[in-house]
Structure 1
Amino acid sequence: MKLLRASVVAALPALTALPQGAAPQARAAALIFTVDPTQSDVQWALGSTLHAVHGTFALKTGNLQFDSSTGKASGEVVVDATSGRSGNDGRDRKMHKDVLESARFGEIIFRPDRITGKLEMQGDSALQVHGIFLLHGNEHELTVPAEAHLSGDHWSASAKFTIPFIEWGLKNPSTWLLKVDRSVSIELELKGTIPSQPAQ
């Protein structure tokens, strides 16, 4: 009995050295979603008193991380602000020079920080993505409703939302003859892959 007590006492320092809350197995790594710019698409529409103007932007890069156990997200989706096109050269020059000032602010970035809704590991999911939208050098909170689809190691997501660009401090391009809406509508289509996770 004395020998048993001595063995337990000797083992106590090793047991108390274990990290608090240590689990028998490490938690699985968060999912990583890489965006393929060549398969992704950013479209925009701006209403006016005459007609709606439609255009596009090019996606530069994207990489997202999501921990389904906590809802925390990170990473960013980066759009090339200088790539904005509406099909009218004069209108586009004015957009880049006077509104976006894309020579100074060459990127439009969304950085997610949390996602609500259940992400299905295969099939369709309806999610709410909250994060910070960086436009014209200023950060703004934004929550984007998104539809996601996972199939094997491929994924896609679509989102429709509005950006109150005038409220956010960008110049109003309206003239006395042509009045434009104070918000621009965005349609985002992302596609990419889910790299294999390292073994835990």
Structure 2
Amino acid sequence: LHLCSSYGPSFLKEPQSLALYSNATGALINCIARGEPPPNMDWVNEAGVSVSFPSNVARLYHNGSLSFYPFSKGAYHEERRIRCRASNAYGRIVSRIVTIKPVLMDFLSVRVEGESTIEFNTALLRCKVLSSSSAVITEVMSWHRGGLQLYPSERGGEWKISRSSKRGPFDHASRVS
């Protein structure tokens, strides 16, 4: 009886469909596959042609993960649509399409907006991003009042204060991502 221990590749970790990387943080996009023999890993464009990145832009690790480095504001980085590919003698697989999008993070100007309300009624606060980067902001992460961290509603990042009162001024701040 002869057992075959060879098999084609399968993904252990497939990349998500959108990967943002910023001039401040960079990004790591994981793509990990197994197989016997161990698969060769590379990244391809939508046509299936291997792509490469300049060494100062990104690094491909032996396990298939791709690391994008932070970049200067003056450097131009373009959006790309690529796939991770794993292949060995027993097969080849490709991941879903991954959109790699560079983002210039800037200082953001954030303002808390609200309407007047009658005491003991509900007050509604909104976090307004006053920046050209507002298209990149996806959500309000939290509200801060004094030492408390408060979490917003699921829609729009609004903060509702039930039974508002005049018991002293409360400063509210919002945190966005």
TM-score range for the pair, normalised by the shorter chain length = under 0.3
Give the TM-score, by structure 1 length. 0.23
Give the TM-score, by structure 2 length. 0.25
Larger proportion of helix: 1
